Amino acid sequence: MTDTPVFLRSKVIVEPLVDRFYAWLHTVAPIQAAMNLAYLQVPMLESYVQSPQVHIAASDNPALRGGYFVNIGAERSAEVKELLETIKRERADMLRLAAAVAEAQELLRANATGFDLTPLYPKLPPELGGLVELAYDTDNQASVRFIEPLAYASQAYVESRQSVQLSLEPGTERPFILSTPRLPGPDVLELPIPFRHPGLEELFRARTTASSLGRLREALELDDAQAVRLGTLLSDRPSLSEDRHVEAGGRIRYFGHACLVLQTPEAAIVTDPFISADSSAGDRYTLDDLPDRIDLALITHGHQDHIVLETLLQLRGRVGAIVVPRPSRGNLEDPSMALMLRHMGFPVIEVDDFEEVPFPGGKVVATPFLGEHCDLDIRGKSTYWVELAGRTAYVGADSSGIDPQLYRHVRNHLGTAHYAFLGMECDGAPLTWLYQALLTKPVTRKMSKSRKLSGSNAEQAAAIMTELGANEAYVYAMGEESWLGHVMATTYNEDTYQLKQVDEFLTWCADHGIKAGHLFGQQEWRW
């Protein structure tokens, strides 16, 4: 039986975890992970242990959706308490590192007055020894620059924190990823292995190529009980879509959120891969619709809904390279996506503005990305220009039209796009929602709300189209898909400001002879 050909079922959910919290850039990159552990996750678990019912009630309140509340029933509070105690005991070095970062930044605030910074190095906490450089900008504003490659080689990067949890699509919304740890359960397979483990590549290859239970058991180093659980996640036949490849011309498919798959017979490109596993839904493209081989996966920026590790891990061994924007090199708020992905075993190409990446029959050009990051000094963000099969697509992600002249430069440099894909989440979450753990100096609520994770409003999107001159415009769904609730935690109705702005933009497009649409579910373009 262990040699029978099997495939990984299409409805398998993959959740990469770090100390049982859902993994994303800020919980994997070493310095940022320490800060999130110390100043977000531990306090949140302490709050839950003190008052589980408060968290449970808040999790059930639609008005508080997306808040930092632990959505675990009180009957399992002892397990949460045990997790908290384990983190405090086994991650003490990381907690001290986070405190050291805060101490170093306070040292600069108190002593960096424009004069020589050399005397401050001996005063830095020992946890930061050799890992940082102190520097001024030309306005004499001092900051700590982290030497990230060394952080990955230090005790700050602990692979034993990593694990993967596999289960079957439940048909219900999963708990919000930024707040609720994933506990063990009878219906999940726990894989206590790092994300780079070669067995994961073997497992996910079984979506397209037959394997066997015995082979997968050996690759993943499973015991008897784990092997039995894995067997429930396997099928004797693949569930791949027959039309997942194209025989001629070009095709773009919308897979939801900001995910596009652009294909010709020679190549396939996927943008911000975030793909449903629920092949029975019928209203979306899923993992079954992906081409067997992907030349490039384009990542626009480091937010948890755009560099989605639960999808990316399933593409390792299937993707030629992941293209990511080059960060600022050492800013606390701007960790390197390339470093993180390379430590997970991915081939990575790092690009700056207007650098080109060829692929068979076409090319990708990295283009600038404005705004959407709460005015933080983050360079790790990029839009993309994709040329294939004689047409061009501008992949705008959440880039904002705050300075429309940028898009005039893009047009002058690259020409006119046939398709423009734009993000219009124009009233996004405030600064502290995503970056609170990295802020060692408190900000006021008013300040936080003035700096939002916002894309373009109607006026800004219209300005982008005016300057870009694209023939067609399409607005991404803004977390409206029900299957994305565990990541997006957004709630809209017909009176929501963002949807009204989208309608206003679509009206503007109609008045100016531009074909346009608000994407939802699935859509396809062929030529």
For residue 265, the SS3 value is coil
Q: Can you give the pLDDT at residue 7?
A: 96
Q: Averaged over 479-505, what is the pLDDT?
A: 90
Percent residues over pLDDT 90 in the chain: 94
Length of the chain: 527
Q: Confidence class of residue 494 from pLDDT cuts 50, 70 and 90? A: confident
Supply the DSSP symbol for 154: S
What residues contact 141, with CB distance under 8 A and at least 6 apart?
none
pLDDT of residue 242: 95
Residue 338: is its pLDDT beyond 70? Answer: yes
Looking at residue 67, its pLDDT comes to 94
Neighbours of 415 (CB within 10 A): 11
Please tell me whether residue 91 adopts helix, strand or coil conformation.
coil
Mean pLDDT of 79-84: 98
Distance between CA atoms of residues 132 and 123, nearest Å: 13
pLDDT score recorded for residue 65: 92
Question: Does the structure show a pLDDT above 60 at 1?
Answer: no
Closest CA to 425 of 496, 346, 342, 368: 496
| Mean pLDDT (whole number) for 311-321 | 96
- Residue 37 in contact with residue 89, Cβ under 8 Å? no
Q: Which residue has the higher pLDDT, 287 or 172?
A: 287
3 state SS of 259:
strand
Across residues 282-301, what is the average pLDDT? Answer: 96
Q: Which pLDDT score, from 0 to 100, does residue 508 have?
A: 98
Backbone angles phi, psi at 70, to 5 degrees: -80, 115
CB 217 within 8 A of CB 4: no
Q: What is the mean pLDDT of the chain?
A: 96
Residues 136 and 138: their CA atoms lie apart, in Å, by 6
Could you tell me the CATH superfamily of domain 251-519? Ribonuclease Z/Hydroxyacylglutathione hydrolase-like (3.60.15.10)
Confidence tier at 495 by pLDDT (50, 70, 90): confident
Binned at pLDDT 50, 70 and 90, residue 527 comes out as very high
- Go through 31-40 and write b for each residue having 16 or more CB atoms within 10 A of its CB, e for each that does not: bbbbbbbbbb
When pLDDT is averaged across residues 230-241 and rounded to a whole number, the result is 95
Mean pLDDT value across residues 79-103: 98
- Check: CB of residue 177 under 8 Å from CB of residue 25: no
Tokens (6 digits) for 474: 């399409």
Q: Which of 200, 249, 191, 199 is nearest to 223 (CA)?
A: 191
pLDDT given for residue 228 in this prediction? 96
Tens-place pLDDT, residues 113-149: 999 999 999 999 999 999 999 999 999 999 999 999 9
pLDDT value, residue 282: 86
- Residues with Cβ within 8 Å of 174's Cβ and at least 6 positions away in sequence, in order, are 13, 15, 485, 486
d(CA 349, CA 323): 5
pLDDT at residue 486 greater than cutoff 70: yes
Alpha helices, DSSP H only, in 415-457? 431-435, 445-450
Has residue 311 got a pLDDT over 90?
yes
Q: How far apart are CA 189 and CA 290, in angstroms?
A: 24
Nearest in space to 368 (alpha carbons), one of 330, 335, 413, 424:
413
C-alpha Rg value of the chain to the nearest Å: 23
Backbone region of residue 519 per phi and psi (left: phi > 0; alpha: psi in -120 to 50; beta: other values): beta
Q: Which residue, among 296, 298, 295, 374, has the nearest Cα to 334 in the 3D structure?
A: 374
Cβ atoms 522, 212 nearer than 8 A: no
Domain boundaries, the chain: 5-91+158-235, 92-152, 251-519
Q: Measured between alpha carbons, how far is 121 from 101 in angstroms, rounded to an integer?
A: 13
Residue type, 491: T
Q: What is the pTM of this model?
A: 0.97
Which is nearest to 350 in space by CA: 158, 512, 148? 148
Residue reference for tokens 């990067």: 157
pLDDT tens figures, 409-460: 999 999 999 999 999 999 999 999 999 999 999 999 999 999 999 999 999 9
pLDDT at 172: 85
3-state SS, one letter per residue, for 378-401 = CCCECEEEEEECCEEEEECCCCCC
- pLDDT classification of 493: cutoffs 50, 70, 90: confident
